[in-house]
Amino acid sequence: MSEDAVLYQVDGRIATVTINRPERRNAFDSPTKDALIEAFVEAHSDPDVWAMVLTGAGDKAFCAGADLKAFDDAAKSGKQYRETPMEGPGRNVFEVLLEVYKPTIAALNGPAIAGGCELALACDLRIAATHAQMGLPEAKRGMGANFGNVVLGRLIPRAIAFEMLYTGRYISAADAAHWGLVNQVVASEKLDETVKALAEEITANAPLTTRRYKEMMVKTWEMPTPSALRMNVGPNPYQSEDREEGARAFVEKREPRWQGR
């Protein structure tokens, strides 16, 4: 993993992935995208990680999306743009993030634009600093926002999603909260502690249960209810030692000691 472009840190049960290109407003080029995928896979695979936070370095931007300067340099050199497909040898970074089957939180320390907005949309929860914005300006750049195009209209009213996509306008953190795109808006200086408190509250719960919630929510998204109820994905907490521990801790009036099994 690139030690410069993407930082990966585990504190207790929480993994924090930081896009570390503040001089480029945390925009990602191909190596950065590869490093993000590696970090997401690591968080997904590590049994000691029970939740993941994604953020950007500094306070100027969460992520400005794809590095357009790198795109322009490639175009000038005659290099053909190659999009990472949803299938094939290289997985799409947004799909990888969506399928981290543990709770994921986007800490929006600044604007989340274009691919940066899509990264935020791929997380389960979003906490935004007051100066953060969200937007998909791809229509102004001749691009496509393929992931955002599919997901945005599933998270907010269809007409609002179309307006954002068609105009390319940014919305404020307050408006994003109004439409349910972010869970909470806080002052910049309170962002880290708010996100940490939320992540710690989540990881205080049974990890097999939260993983089951994540897999069920992702894999049954927009399925008919009867079909979704018959899906059996993720670990079954009812057959776990943690279920026994949870009941015992309640009876004994103490905090449970989860083992993740």
Q: Which residues are part of the catalytic machinery?
A: 118, 138
Residues paired with residue 17 on neighbouring β-strands, in sequence order:
8, 54
How far is residue 69 from each of residues 24, 65, 138, 208, 232, measured CA to CA in Å?
Answer: 9, 11, 15, 43, 45
Residue 260: CB atoms within 10 A of its CB come to: 15
Torsion of CA 176, 16, 56, 201, to 10 degrees: 30
How far is residue 64 from each of residues 109, 113, 118, measured CA to CA in Å?
Answer: 12, 5, 10
- Name the token pair of 44: 């997904």
